[in-house]
Structure 1
Amino acid sequence: MLPFFKKKKKSGGDTAVSAQDVIQETADAGDEEVYTELALHPSWNLPMEQQYVLRFLNNELPPLKPNQISLSGISLRREDNGVVVSAFVRHSLSKPIKIGKATLLLLSADDAVIARKEFNLEEMGELPEKSSRPWNFLFENATLKTNNIPEEGWKLAFELRQKHRLELEESWEKALPKAEKDKLRQLVDQLEPPKPGEVNFFGLQAKLTEEHGLSVTVLIRNGSDRNIYFEQLPLQIEDAAGEVIARGGFALDCLEVKANTTKPWTFIFPKELIRKSEPDLSKWKISIVKQS
C-alpha cells in the first residue's frame, strides 16, 4: 500500500493556475465552479479500499474555476534518494488534456522553495475532462534547496515563466525621462526574449566622445531563472568593417541583472583603449573577450 492511501487526510495544500499558462489552451467561458472526478491512470490496478480513500480525498477538494489546472498535495515522505510527493493533478476544462514538460516547485507554507525540478508530465497520460489524477513526484536530493522538509502545510506548484521585462538601475530610474523609459520598455517588449538560460548583449548606441573615447550603450539580457552579477567584464567593440576598434576591462562593482530581465548599461572606453581613430559606427558589435 502506498503511503498516501493510509489516511483520509491530506498534508499538503492546493495551488491553481490558468490552463493557458501550462498547456496554452482554454475551453470554457463563464465563472461556474467545477468539481473534478477521480481518474486513475489505466496502469494503476488498486484494491477497492485504496480507491475509496482516494475518492474520499478527491471529494473533499475545493471546486476549480473554469480553465484551471491545479496541484493538490496529498502526502510527502523523505526517502534515501530524495523526497516523494503525492498529489492530485486536476483540471476544469471540458475536454481531455495532455501536459508536457513542466517545472514544479515544492513550497513551504510561506512559499519558500524547498525543491525545484522539471518533470515530463506526459507520463501521466491523457487526463479526461474535468478530472483529478493522483500522481507521485520524486524530487531527488540534488534538487532540494534545504534539508528542512515540513510534514504539513507544504504545496506543489507550477513554476510559470514570467514575461521578460525591463529593469532599470536606480540611477537610471531617476535620471531618465519617462518618455525614454517608455521607449526602452517598448523595445524590450518587441525584441524576442533570450532563450532560457541565455545571457546576451544587444547594442543600442555607440558614439565617440569629446575626449576621443567611445561610449557604448547596450541591453544586458538575462534569460536565466536566477539573478546574475558582473564584477569584471572584458569587452571589445567591432565596427562595420569587422575591425576591433576598442578593447578593455570594466569593474562593475557587482552589477546585478535579475532573472528574466533586461538592464541597459553604458560602457565608456577611454581614448587609451581606442584602436581606430575613425571607426565606421553605422554597424557595430559588442562581445565579451575570452580570457586565455
Structure 2
Amino acid sequence: MNLFSFFKNATKTGTDTAVSSTELLDGTNEESQDKNEVVTELSIASDWKVSKEQEYVLKFLSNDLPPLKADQLSLSGIQIDVDKGKGDWNVQAFFRSSLDRPIKLGKAELMLLDATNDVVGSQEFDLSELGTLPPFSNRPWVFKFKKENLKSTEVPTDQWSLAFNVQSLVPHSLDLDPAWEEALPKDQKLSLKELVKNLPALKPREVNITGFQSKFTEEGNLAISVFIRNGHTKQIQLEKLPLEVLDAKGEQVVKGSFKLDNLMIKANTSKPWTFIFPREMLTNETPDLSRWTARVPQ
C-alpha cells in the first residue's frame, strides 16, 4: 500500500483521542505535572518521498490539529477510504506524541469508533512500521482495517475516531483467584509468575489451556493444574469447561466436563486452576505423565 496515494484531501472528518503515556508505556516516568499545552509538528520519515502538493495538504492538516497536554499519545482521525474490491477500510490518521523524547511503539490493538463511540472495528497493528516519532510531533499513517475485523458495512462519515485499546499494550500477566492469592506462599506465586512469563505468546483473541502440574491423590483421583490463558483484550467468563488429558504416548487418560460458575479470566492474563477427575472416570489408571497435555476435546 502506498501511504501517499492517500491524504489528498484537506478535509478532516474524524476526531481525536488521547491517552497518557503512562497508560501505554512500560517503565515510563510518572505523569508529567506540566499542564501547558503542546503543539505538535508534522514529521515525515527521512526515507519517505512526498510530493510538494501532498506535503502542503499534510502541513495544512497538521497545523489544524488541536494542542495536546504534556506526555500524551494521540490518534487523530482524518478520513476513511473503502477498498471497493476487498471491502477493507483504509483509515487515514495522524499518530501524535507530546512526549519530550523519541517514541517507537510495537504491536497494539486499535479500535475504530463511530460518532456514538460504538466500536465498528478493531484490529492489531504493528506500530513499529511508523518508525521512531520525534519529540512533540505527529506522523501520518494509513491503518488498513480488514473486512473481517469490521462490525459494520456502513462507513462513519463524521465524528468518528481511532483509539488505542490500552489493555492490548499491557504485558501478559498472572491472574490469581483470591483464594489462590491467599493460600499460596510468596515463593509459589513467584514461580507461577515466572512460568507465565516464559510461556509462548498468545495470538490475538486466542484462548488456550496449558498444563503445568499433575498428581494422583491418595484416593486415586487425578488432579491437574492448568493455566487458562486469555489472549483477548477483554475479560472472558467460562460457565463450563470440557477437558481431556493425554499422556506421554498421546493416549487419553481421562475425559470430563467441569462447571465453573462464570469463572472470570481477565484480559491478557493466565489464570491457574486445578481440576480433579474422580478415579472411576480414568480410562488408564497407570498413565505415563512424564509429559502430558490437557485440552478441550475436539
> Could you tell me the TM-score, scaled by structure 2's length?
0.70
Instruction: Determine the structure 2 residue equivalent to 1:64.
Output: 69
Counterparts of 1:202 and 1:289, CA distance in 2: 9
* Aligned: 1:103 with 2:118: no
The match for 2:149 is: 143
**Alignment partner for residue 273 of structure 2, among 243, 258, 264?**
264
Uncovered stretches (5+) of structure 1, i.e. residues with no partner: none
- Residue 131 of structure 1 and its aligned partner are, at CA, apart by 0.5
SS at match of 2:246: strand
Matches within 5 A, 1:235-274: 235-236=245-246, 247-252=253-258, 258=265, 259-261=267-269, 262-271=271-280, 273=282
Secondary structure, in 3 states, of the residue corresponding to 1:234?
Answer: strand
Q: Does 1:40 align with 2:44?
A: yes
**Offset at 1:249?**
0.9
Specify whether residues 46 and 105 from structure 1 end up closer, same or farther in structure 2 by C-alpha distance, changes over 3 A only.
farther
- TM-score by structure 1 length? 0.71
SS of corresponding position for 1:5 = coil
| Structure 2 contact 21–73 (Cα < 8 Å) conserved | yes
Q: How is 1:171-250 mapped onto 2 (pairs within 5 angstroms)?
A: 176=179, 179-180=182-183, 188-193=192-197, 194=199, 195-197=201-203, 199-204=208-213, 206-210=215-219, 213-225=220-232, 227=236, 231-236=241-246, 247-250=253-256
Indicate whether 1:164 and 2:173 are aligned.
yes
CA 1:94–1:177 in 2, change beyond 3 Å: closer, same or farther?
A: closer
Q: Distance in 2 between matches of 1:72 and 1:289?
A: 43
Percent identical across equivalent pairs? Answer: 24
Aligned with 1:88 (options 76, 86, 94): 94
Quote the RMSD (CA, aligned, Å).
Answer: 4.0
Task: Report Cα offsets for 1:98-117 as digits up to 9, x if no partner.
Answer: 44444322234555432233
Once residues 281 and 256 of structure 2 are traced to their aligned partners in structure 1, the CA distance between those partners, rounded to angstroms, is 14
For each residue in 1:160-185, what CA deviation from the matched residue of structure 2 results, as whole angstroms up to 9, or x when unmatched? 244423264xxxx6xx4862278686
Q: CA deviation at 1:139?
A: 1.2
Shift of 1:190: 4.0
> Once the two structures are superposed, what CA deviation does each residue of 1:6-45 show, in whole Å capped at 9, x if it has no partner?
32x44223132427835x5758973224321122344222
Query: Aligned with 2:79: secondary structure?
Result: strand
CA–CA distance in structure 1, aligned partners of residues 196 and 296 of structure 2: 26
Q: Deviations over 1:107-145 (max 9, x none)?
A: 345554322333343443442221011222221212213
- Within the candidate set 70, 79, 82, 2:83 is matched to 79
The answer (yes or no) to whether the contact 1:28–1:94 under 8 Å persists in 2 is: no
* Aligned residue type for 2:68: P
Point out where structure 2 has 5 or more consecutive residues left out of the alignment. Answer: none
Q: Secondary structure at the match of 1:218?
A: strand
Partner of 1:31: 33
Q: Is the 8 A contact 2:209 2:294 kept in 1?
A: no
When residues 250 and 196 of structure 1 are mapped into structure 2, their CA distance, relative to the original with a 3 A threshold, is same
SS in 2 for 1:153: coil
What is the distance in 2 between the residues matched to 1:50 and 1:249?
63
The CA deviation at 1:52 is 4.9
Take 1:200 and 1:284, find their aligned partners in 2: how far apart are those partners?
Answer: 18
Q: Which one has the largest radius of gyration?
A: 1
